[in-house]
Structure 1
Amino acid sequence: MSFFADVILPIPLEKQFTYLLTPEQADLLQEGMRVAVPFGKSKVYTGLVYRVHRQPPQVYDAKPIDQVLDETPLVTERQLRHWEWLADYYMCSLGDVFRAALPSSLLLESETLVCKAGDFEGDESDLSDEEWLVLEALQHQPQLKVHEVGAVIDRKNVLPVLKRLIEKGVVELKEEVVEQYKPKKVRYIRLMPDYEKEEALQTLLDDLSRAPRQREVLLTLYRLEAVDQKPVRTTELEKESGASSAILRTMIDKGILEDYYLEIDRLQGTEADAGALFELNEFQQQAFEEIEQAFQFKDTVLLHGVTSSGKTEVYFKLIDRALEQQKQVLFLVPEIALTTQLIKRLERRFGTKVSVFHSRYSSNERVEVWHAVKDRDEKARIVVGARSAVLLPFSDLGLVVVDEEHETSYKQFEPAPRYHGRDSAIVLAAIHGAKTLLGSATPSVESYYNARTGKYGLVQITRRFGNVLMPDMEICDIKDAHRRKKMQGHFSERLTEAIRECLDEGEQVILFQNRRGFAPILECNTCGHSPQCPNCDVSLTFHKYKNQLRCHYCGHHMAMQLSCLACGSSELDTKGFGTEQIEAEAKELFPGAKTGRMDSDSTRGKHGYEKIISAFEQQEYDILVGTQMITKGLDFRNVTLVGILQADTMLNFPDFRAHERSFQLIQQVAGRAGRTRKRGKVIIQSFNPHHQILQQASTNSYEEMFEDQMNERRQFHYPPVYKMIKFVFKGRDYNRVNEAADWYAGALRNTFLSSGGFEVLGPEFPPVARIRNRYHKHAILKIGPGVSLKQTKAVLKKIGKSYTAIANFRSVRLINDVDNY
């Protein structure tokens, strides 16, 4: 009887595909091993073995797998269980999770190769010039990649040419699986064995007396080997001897030297600092003991500690405990910017046991972290990463720390799986029998609600480290300042004065404006026209640094216009302001101060964050202007003043969480001020200084904000009282998107509203209804307390199948977004 394997493919298929196995493969294969399998007409994919069994597929003939790619499972059993939960809870396929989890270098894909047809005996005179060039190239080498064919005929679209060649029987195509992961190799150099004896070496030195540069290379190599007793790198030899690579190549050609390559580990941490041990103060120690006690009864504990209360040191103490028990630790942070400072502190404390995993690392680096975690390597005992780190193959997880758990960056919006890093980490910890600690100075309403209702443990630190006072927060009425002409650009007289005082005392300032670019709108004063993105329903943002107008949704850009595109007038003016404009104004107002900017434009590249944060730490900048990435857990010891340029833009956002997020952002950015002995100062500029949220933020009234938000959410049926699933409809045809959304919302109402406990909102167009030439329309299903989420999702899958069966709606993509926080 034959053996079969169900294989997960990295594409959004509802079911696994079944493949035929040979008896040898059946003995070798285990769950979690990769295989190369054919799918469709000619494509070859990397699949993951999900189950080995003896039941043949009922509706198709099983194809054989092409090859087995692993000797041992790449994905653990517990990891697969976590993937199943992600796919089930977030309503996506296992293929979506597989694709998101594995670094791209581990997902081998086939590459199309062009070969000369073996039986071609045709007349070359029938070929066009381009076709003849391809054939001539194939006379010199047996196969060409598609992009190489493009280079041969000097055109981008080569498919019409290849199609004609195939029809004429000149060429044929084949698929070849390509290994993408490449270990890092370093080039070393050594003396040839013939010259290792003293007499031979002396003779060689005498012979090289007429080639002083080569003789110097030889003497330098001998010295380096004698001093370090290690292999010598080629780059090191070139540097020390002052020789060029051409001289080394000459010596290699002469047979004097030989070069060779050694694989090295990309994960090279630094040794721990013995002096980095830190004693907890009484409040931290009390919090630590309370967390330990809470862990005896609860698997998840929320640590609510005010900004600068020393939560990180409490985390480190818990990590120490987990490492003593030989367990792995996952430390999640919301953004890559946060990892910069944290990694330095972790490496000082734990040395080479720390590995980092996030999207700014190369695919090859992520592969090495993946293997280190799976093999329980000492260099990956502690993994620091953004949300994607929850998908790693932990085998013995003991502790999960989710820092700044309230952050929206933990939610994945595109592509699937649209998971929440915090919630997924809690489930991952439960699968491993591990404990989860959620930490924040401004917990999310959901987490605090879970703690208040007893689902999570709750521990609080109410004092800042060193008994430093919370910053003095002052709300400045800029409506009144504008009326009395007391504004300089976007700076009120009060903020300008405070910055001057701060700079005079040699202290640093953070200015927060949650919008990048120079100005969001460029408007003609004559006709009122403002340049719009041709692909999205938004105006183009002016970026002065590059002198261009740019769309923040699709990336479309054009040169800055000197005259109006509609009427030709040269009277153009900007409306609104972003970080670039604040940076320019700060430089003009405070010419003696060095001003820097930190936003997604200025932090391009792998080490972009690190360079700016390090420069600010070392006081190379006096003023740092930034978006919300400067608000999250960064520790700058010399910052005593924070200015929030305009709080109203956050408050008036069309979202039921706008007030909660405004409170969190204000509190978090305020927490960067006065983290040492001197009390910090925060100035909040607003047109509406008496707004309830601003008053609560200025008095650190988290409990009051929480109660207000819970009352509103109970009244209007929002999370955490109700669960929420958002349905997004995307398509190029406006009318079809409308029809599809209306049909689906109607199906939701017909199915759910009769049974009670449900509400359906929409469908409605969002504020930005067209992105990348695709229209968006949203509908929301609210699921009341006590209603089975599992049964609801089962019904939604049936409605989804009915939707995809309607031919008219196939061009409109349906996206299910569960817990759209």
Structure 2
Amino acid sequence: MHTYADVILPLALPQNYTYRVPEILESQVKPGMRVIVQLGKRKLYTALVYRLHRKAPEGYTPKDILEIEDTYPIVTSRQFELWAWMADYYMCSMGEVMMAALPAGLKLESETTVIPNHLKEIVDEELSDHEYLIVEALQSQHTLSIKEISEITGISNPLKIIRNLLGKHYILLEEELKTGYKPKQKRYVRLWEGLPEDKLSTLFEELERAPKQRELLLSFFKLQGELGKAKKITAARLLKESGAGESSLKSLQDKEVLELFYDTESSLPAGDIPQTSLKTLNEHQAKALAEIQTSFKEQETVLLHGVTSSGKTEIYVQLIEEVLSKGQQVLYLVPEIALTTQLITRLKQYFGNKVLVFHSRFSDRERVETWLQLVQKPREAHLVIGARSSVFLPFGQLGLIIVDEEHETSFKQFDPAPRYHARDTAIVMGLMHQAKTLLGSATPSFETYYNAQQGKFGLVELMQRHGNLPLPEILCIDLKRARSKREMQGHFSTDLMKEIQNVLNAKKQVILFQNRRGFTTTVQCRNCGHITQCKNCDITLTYHKHIDKLRCHYCGYSRQVPQRCPACNSPEISSFGFGTEKLEDDLKLMLENAEVQRMDLDSTRKKNAYENIISDFEDGIINILVGTQMVTKGLDFENVALVGIINADTLLNFPDFRSHERAFQLMAQVAGRSGRKGERGKVLIQTSDPYHNVIRKVMENDYSGMYQDEIYERKNFKYPPFYRFIRITLKHRDKNKLSSSANLMSKELRQLFGERVLGPEFPMIARLRNRYLMEILIKLEDKVSLKKAKIRLRETIEDFFRENADHKVQVIYDVDPY
């Protein structure tokens, strides 16, 4: 009997495909290995073997697996178990989970290349200028990729030209696998194996007439003496030390004196890191640690609710040490890559080379090597620090998961599928690995806190700051009053500017928070009121001064600032609103002697940008740090005496049921960056509504009161944690077709779910990337089976499309869309 393999393809397919395993490969192929398979007539993909069996598929003849990529499985059975849960819970395919999980270097996909048709005679008159350029290039190069054709013609999308050349029979298409991860090879030098010792004594005399070769050989022995014979000498270092060139090195190789060889070099940090002993916990921390350990005996998941600067990280360190000493692994999840910078330095002092880092700012090579290290050494104790994608890593002996700042929205993936929440996935992952999960936050999400109150999670509270430091003094500045009394300097009140100056005079530092990036948020004509919008999205363009362009933050479209209004041709163009770039610019003009730096998405695009900004702020080089949400997330700066929230109103007045919760969390978190060491810090909140309930709760540091107010509202108006949401987003290029399909679909869904269905409605941004959007929301009470509801939902929508073939719209499911 033949062996068959169910494989996962990196595509949004409704089911996994079955391929036949050729006899020659039967003894080699195993679940978790990558294999090359053909899909369709010519496309090649890397697929993952999900399971092996003897049952031939019904209805079609399976194709053969073409090749095996691995000598050992790179995905574990527990990973497959987690992927299957994610695909089921978040209503997506296993292929979409695979695309999110695997680093790009472990995924191969065939690339279409263009080759010349030598049977076709070239007739110049048949060809356009662009077509001629391609045909001419193919005379000297046998193949061209789509990207190369784009560069030759200067056209970003040359597919129309390629189709024309195919129709005229000048070219043929073929598929070629793009190369994936290859281990980095480094060139080393050693003495020629078998070189007689007596030859060495006469060698330098023979090289008298070749001074460069002689100098190179002397440098080799000098380096060997410095490094020791066990240490390999790189060719690059030897050439630098000797001042010789490649020709001298090649001559010594030809004379069988030195030998060049290659060896794999890891991109991961190497060498021993000196470790320091763990800090002694204070009375409150020790009590919290004991309570966590007791809770873990009865609960799989525990919430640590500790105020800002209470020393939660030191408690984590104690728990990590306990797990690593047992030979188990720890996953430490953080919401923001910026947060890993300080954390890595801190944790490497305790755990040295046991620390691995995994996030999207790392190169693909580094991510692949971290993945393979965990696969190859499944029983080795490691502490992995990473952002949400770290939940996909192949842990072999996971003992503890820590989700720091668990309330952060950064843990939720909104696009593309799987639209998962890393915190919830981590809890499920912990259960699968029989590992404990610790959630930590100064301002827990209300769903998490509710679960802890109901006994679903353990709850430990730490309400004292480390060193008994008082919480920062929080004051409110009434912007309406300041404007009426003309006490504003740009976007800064006089009171805030005085405090900034006092702090700078005292050699302390300032953090200013504004949750908008860019220079100005709107460009408008003063004559007719026309606002410059994105051509692809229903959103205003933001002006960025450093590139002197208007840019869409959703699709990336950019354009020059119009000199005249495109609607009425008036030259009266003005900018309104402000972002972090504008604040930075204003402060540099007002405080010439202060060093001002911005930390937002625009200023941290490069790999080491976070590290450089944070390092400069820690070292006191930067006096004022202006930032978006990045500055609120768990960063620890001991010299910060003042935090300013520039405009709290933009946080409060957002049309979302969680806007008040998130506003409270953001303001409380950014306030917690102040006065973390020594003197009491100060926080100034600028708002037009100083008596708003959320502002009052932040000033009183009243998390419990805020939670009670919100949970009462949510119960009355059927919101989480009392109800579960499934949001269905429909997309189409034609607004009328979309509206028609959405209305028909909502009628079908109401027959099944009744009043639980809301919508369809256009969202706040109704068009993105030239596609219109409409949303249908389904609210499900706790007593309804979510699993059964999702099955019925899928069936209903599939039946809808079968019966309404002319209503083809893209459907996106988002379970727990918050």
Range of TM-score over shorter length:
over 0.9
In structure 2, the partner of 1:535 is 536
Q: Secondary structure at the match of 1:63?
A: coil
1:768 matched to 2:765? The reply is yes
Structure 2 partner of 1:180: 180
**Aligned 1:56-205 pairs, distance under 5 A:** 56-114=56-114, 145-147=145-147, 172-190=172-190, 197-205=199-207
Distance verdict in 2 for CA 1:740–1:234, change over 3 Å: same
Deviation at 1:262, TM superposition (A): 2.0
> For residues 52 and 510 of structure 1, do their structure 2 counterparts lie closer, same or farther at Cα, with a shift above 3 Å needed?
same
- Structure 1 residues 498-552: Cα deviation after superposition (integer angstroms, max 9, x where no partner): 1111101100000000000011012222222221111111111111122111111
Give the match for residue 643 of structure 2.
642
**1:401-432 deviations in whole A, cap 9, x for unaligned?**
00000000000111100000000000000001
Given that 2:378 and 2:396 are in contact with CA atoms closer than 8 Å, whether structure 1 keeps it comes out as no
Distance change (3 Å), C-alpha of 1:289 and 1:380: closer
1:415 aligns with 2:412: no
How has the CA–CA distance of structure 1 residues 773 and 808 changed in structure 2, closer, same or farther, with 3 Å as cutoff? farther
Contact between 1:6 and 1:51, CA under 8 Å: does it hold in 2? yes
Residue 171 of structure 1: how far off its partner (Å): 5.8
> Which sits farther off after the overlay, 368-377 or 603-612?
368-377
Deviates more, 1:612-621 or 1:17-26: 17-26
| Equivalent in the alignment of 1:524 | 525
The residue number in structure 2 matching 1:804 is: 801
Q: Distance in 2 between matches of 1:547 and 1:159?
A: 32
Paired with 1:125 and 1:546, the residues of 2 have a C-alpha distance of 46
SS at match of 2:371: helix
CA distance in 2, matches of 1:320, 1:103: 29
Match of 2:304 in 1: 303
- Give the equivalent residue in structure 2 for 1:313: 314
Partner SS for 1:64? coil
Q: Quote the offset at 1:163 in angstroms.
A: 5.5
Question: Displacement, 1:571?
Answer: 3.1
Distance 1:7 1:813 in 2: 25
In 1, Cα distance between the equivalents of 2:508 and 2:683? 14
Identity of aligned residues (%): 49
Q: 1:29 deviation in Å?
A: 2.5
Partner of 2:15: 15
Paired letter, 1:502: V
TM-score by length of 1: 0.94
Separation in structure 1 between the aligned mates of residue 810 and residue 393 of structure 2, nearest angstrom = 30
Alignment size in residue pairs: 812
Question: Which AA in structure 2 matches 1:228?
Answer: L
Write out per-residue CA displacement over residues 207-266 of structure 1, whole angstroms, 9 at most, x where no aligned residue: 134x6xx55444333311221123222332344345566876787788876543321111
Of 285-294 and 198-207, more deviation after overlay is shown by: 198-207
* SS of residue in 2 equivalent to 1:527: coil
Cα offset for 1:811? 4.3
Task: Sort the Cα spacing of 1:137 and 1:484 in 2 relative to 1 into closer, same or farther, 3 A.
Answer: closer
Q: What is residue 225 of structure 1 aligned with on the other side? A: 224
1:402 paired with 2:399, answer: no
Structure-1 separation of matches of 2:506 and 2:537 = 47
Structure 1 vs Structure 2 CA RMSD: 2.6
Provide the C-alpha distance between the structure 1 equivalents of 2:811 and 2:489, rounded to a whole number of angstroms.
49
Q: Give the match's secondary structure for 1:296.
A: helix
CA–CA distance in structure 2, aligned partners of residues 157 and 765 of structure 1: 31
Q: Are 1:589 and 2:586 matched, yes or no?
A: no
Match of 1:679 in 2: 680
SS in 2 for 1:175: strand
SS in structure 1 of the partner of residue 744 of structure 2: helix
Correspondences of 1:33-48 after superposition (within 5 Å): 33-48=33-48
Q: Pick which of 368-377 and 326-335 moved more.
A: 368-377
- What is the one-letter code of the residue matched to 1:460? E
Cα deviation, residue 54, structure 1: 2.0
CA 1:333–1:154 in 2, change beyond 3 Å: closer, same or farther?
closer
- Report the equivalent of 1:495: 496
Range with bigger deviation, 414-423 or 804-813? 804-813
Per-residue Cα deviation, 1:650-702 (whole angstroms, up to 9, x for no partner): 00011000000000000000010000011000000000000000000111100
Structure 1 residue runs of 5 or longer lacking an equivalent are none
The worse-fitting range, judged by mean Cα deviation, of 803-812 and 482-491 is 803-812
In 1, are the aligned partners of 2:124 and 2:132 still within 8 Å (CA)?
no
Aligned pairs (5 A) from 1:277-292: 277-292=278-293
Question: How many angstroms does 1:807 deviate by?
Answer: 5.5
Q: State the match for 1:261 in structure 2.
A: 262
1:645, 1:684 within 8 Å by CA — same for their partners in 2? yes
Q: Distance in 1 between matches of 2:151 and 2:633?
A: 47
- Partner of 2:10: helix, strand, or coil? coil
Offset of 1:149 from its aligned partner? 6.1
Deviations 1:318-347 (A, max 9, x none): 111111111111110011111111111111
Are positions 1:744 and 2:741 aligned together?
no
Candidates 783, 788, 795, aligned match of 1:786: 783
2:364 alignment partner AA = S
Alpha carbons 1:641, 1:673 under 8 Å: kept: yes
Check conservation: 2:275, 2:348, Cα contact below 8 A: no
Distance 1:620 1:154, change over 3 A: closer
Query: Is the Cα–Cα contact under 8 Å of residues 10 and 99 in structure 1 kept in the other structure?
Result: yes
Alpha carbons of structure 1 residues 676 and 17: separation in structure 2 relative to 1, 3 Å: same
Structure 1 CA distance for aligned equivalents of residues 320 and 635 of structure 2: 20
Aligned to 1:208: 210
Contact 1:549 1:560 in 2 (8 A): yes
In structure 2, how many angstroms separate the alpha carbons of the residues matched to 1:378 and 1:609? 33
Aligned partner of 2:627 in structure 1 is 626
| Structure 1 SS opposite 2:210 | helix
> Aligned equivalents of 2:593 and 2:460: distance in 1?
45
- Offset of residue 55 of structure 1: 1.9
Within 2, Cα distance between the matches of 1:528 and 1:491? 27
CA spacing shift, 1:345–1:167, aligned 2, 3 Å:
same
The secondary structure found in structure 1 opposite 2:504 is helix
Contact persistence 2:328–2:380 (CA under 8 A): no
What do the CA deviations read for 1:420-448 (whole angstroms, capped 9, x no partner)?
00000000000010000000000000100
Q: State the match for 1:599 in structure 2.
A: 600
1:455-534 → structure 2 map (5 Å cutoff): 455-534=456-535
Q: Is the 8 A contact 2:649 2:689 kept in 1?
A: yes
Cα distance in 1, alignment partners of residues 796 and 641 from structure 2: 56
Query: Structure 1 residues 67 and 674 mapped into 2: Cα distance closer, same or farther (>3 Å)?
Result: same
Give the superposition deviation at 1:451.
0.2
Shifted more, 733-742 versus 171-180: the winner is 171-180
C-alpha displacement at 1:573, in angstroms? 2.3
Distance of 1:544 and 1:142 partners within structure 2: 45
Q: Name whichever of 693-702 and 358-367 sits farther off.
A: 358-367
Q: Which amino acid aligns with 1:447?
A: T
Please say if residues 324 and 381 of structure 2, whose CA atoms lie closer than 8 Å, have aligned partners that are also in contact: no
> CA shift at 1:188, angstroms?
2.8
What is the rounded CA distance, in whole Å, between the counterparts of 2:164 and 2:697 in structure 1? 71
Q: Which secondary structure does the structure 2 equivalent of 1:74 belong to?
A: coil
Q: Given the superposition, is the C-alpha separation of residues 168 and 697 from structure 1 closer, same or farther in structure 2, using an over 3 Å criterion?
A: closer
CA contact (8 A) 2:278 2:318 kept: no
The residue type equivalent to 2:776 in the other structure is A
1:117-137: per-residue Cα shift (whole Å, max 9, x none)?
7xx666566996788987887
Q: What's the offset of the Cα at 1:622?
A: 0.4
Q: Which amino acid is the alignment partner of residue 182 of structure 2?
A: K
Q: Deviations over 1:555-602 (max 9, x none)?
A: 111123344333343333221111011111211222111100000000
Stretches of structure 2 lacking an aligned partner (at least 5 in a row): none
* Conserved 8 A contact 1:369-1:380: no
Deviation at 1:272, TM superposition (A): 4.2
**Which amino acid is the alignment partner of residue 39 of structure 1?**
L
State which drifts further: 803-812 or 272-281: 803-812
